[in-house]
Chains A and B, each alone.
Chain A
Amino acid sequence: MGQTLAEKIFSRACGRQVNQGDIVYPEPDLITTHDWYVVNFDKVLQELGLNRLHAPHKLLISTDHEPVATSPLAAQRQRQVREIVRKYGIEHFYDVGRGGHGHVFPMEKGFIRPGMFVIAYDIHVTNYGALGCMGVPVVTEISEVLACGNVWMKVPHTVRVNLVGQLGPGITIRDVAQKLISVIDVDDADYSAFEFGGPGLASVDFAGRQVLCNTPIEIGAKTAFIEPDQQTLDYLSSRTNEPIALIKSDADAIYHCVIEFDLGLVEPQVAMPPTPDNVVGVSKVAGKKIQHAFIGSCAAPGISELAIAASILEGRRIHPDVRFFLTPSTYEVMSEATALGYMQIFVDAGVSVTAPGCGVCAGGKIGAMADGEVSINTGTRNDFGRLGAMKSEIYLASAATVAASAVAGEITDPRVYLLKAHKMQDAQ
């Protein structure tokens, strides 16, 4: 009987063949944590009487949740993190101004390859699935992984998603990803691995693949990844000298279910508060006044989000009632956006650009909201209080919808602006 990609990755990490449903102790190839949990895991290790990590060379730490310290307490924590990094001899430490978002830059820097198994403190590590790597989040148990090398896991069943068709004008992969998690049965998604493939995948760029892998975790998936392909090889060719295998599920592998999903949605999608799968077409919420907008987070990780925002914002100004924050996910993305002229467009439009990392999405430490305010943004979640005040409302959407809404001062279908931009280009 054949194996799914998830079973193959788990089998390698266990050193023996394992199958869905098995309880196992797989050895991760890489472990990641962010700046807000380093002091916590150090405290647990101290309580356990440990003064070393099981494998410090496997640990990667990113200062992405609060790179710009917003209080003396935060500055003190950053100092503690640096001391802890030195104490344990952690080589892969990406501090303020170095990498950017920890779910993104490790791919840019060649840490991530198809078939790898990563354990992380933070649920959106599934972005690594964009390169066919399996990232699995744990919470407090990250301390066990760091102390002992592993923790128990259940080998997941697989939800296979075959993408077909192509995106319509003004529709982005974020719209597709939001729609997808709103139609899949949560009982099928629970504890599953999402595996994306099908003829439509080739048309999805690297950023779009991250977005597809970012969202299933919101409905209970354990992990998500794409079936690696030629695009994966092309992306990695200049980033790593390690051998790359295009590992795939066997033809006779047993999937929990197979879903065919058409990229050709009829309209952009918006997730209403308070959950990311509470999704409607933009026409249902168009006209809702906003005061806050944000593009960034691991759910809008790439240059393509900034490109579409720039195409809408070029020659326009943000509505006077709106404040608009934009956070490039990484320094590489920021550099590319600068070279392409997007940064000047953002500055001219009145956008507040912040240091790479999680940006506003990390609990609203920067750019928070007040009671009674409404935000439209590309963050990962829209729980009440996520970005500050409990009585604020968060709508999640694509970078295109966010940029268009910020110009209009209300939730807006971006195709109005995008089609105008296209017509102008055609006229030139």
Chain B
Amino acid sequence: MMSVIVFTLIIFIGSYFAGLLGSLTGLGGGFVIIPLLTLVLRVDIHYAIGASLVSVIATSSGSAAAYVKEGITNIRLGMFLEIATTAGAMVGALIAVYIPTNFIAILFGVILITSAIMSLRKKAEHISREKSKLAEKLKLNSSFPTANGPVAYSVKNVGGGFFMMLFAGVISGLLGIGSGALKVLAMDTIMRIPFKVSTTTSNFMIGVTAAASAVVYLQRGYIDPGLSMPVAIGVLLGALSGSKILVHTTSSGWLRWVFAIVVTFLASQMIYNGFIGKI
């Protein structure tokens, strides 16, 4: 068995790269952390979920601080959709106790593959100007700064997006991930929000969503300080490096491919180990 110091060092390095990739792709660091902890280091999945949640909060808050200042984040939209994600996260954390760990592992793998596929889709930038009554009532339509001045956009399908966010919240609470991909899916595909806005607003919401389930996990003893420490520090440093790169580049196409390949491998391992009951 490894000593605490070696174990901590390995987790720290793994977490740094998880945070970097998670931030650049908008998928979050939890996707790499949980397989790393459970499959490679044989950590019980409950501890892995707890540590991942802590890192998710650090990542989201750390990079949201940078994005919010850029003025890209739609704070009202984030706030409104947080009703759905926090309610979902609470439900997810509460039912997690009653779900067998191998089922959680399989579900994790399925969500992971879905997210990887979605992150590979061609991102056609669409600026919707259609008027939606509900979006207007909720003051969700806004604009974001670009090199050529502010660009105005409208929000479509508020109800559909809200429902998808409820689901994203449950998954986040159940698996201890940010479910950034599901949030981006809701905003990008359903609500037709420009990609940069949906990525940063999703990131903005992830911290609150994770906090809503972390308060449950904290009291259930899922959040172990010795394990969460290197995970949180590593992921945060990685995510900060990532957010510096993201703000200054327009394309990260090759990175999505790297991430998709890594993720598909990890996901199949999670599903396989879930089926043979090794998790």
Query: Are A and B associated in one complex?
Result: no
B residues contacting A by CB (< 8 A) are: none
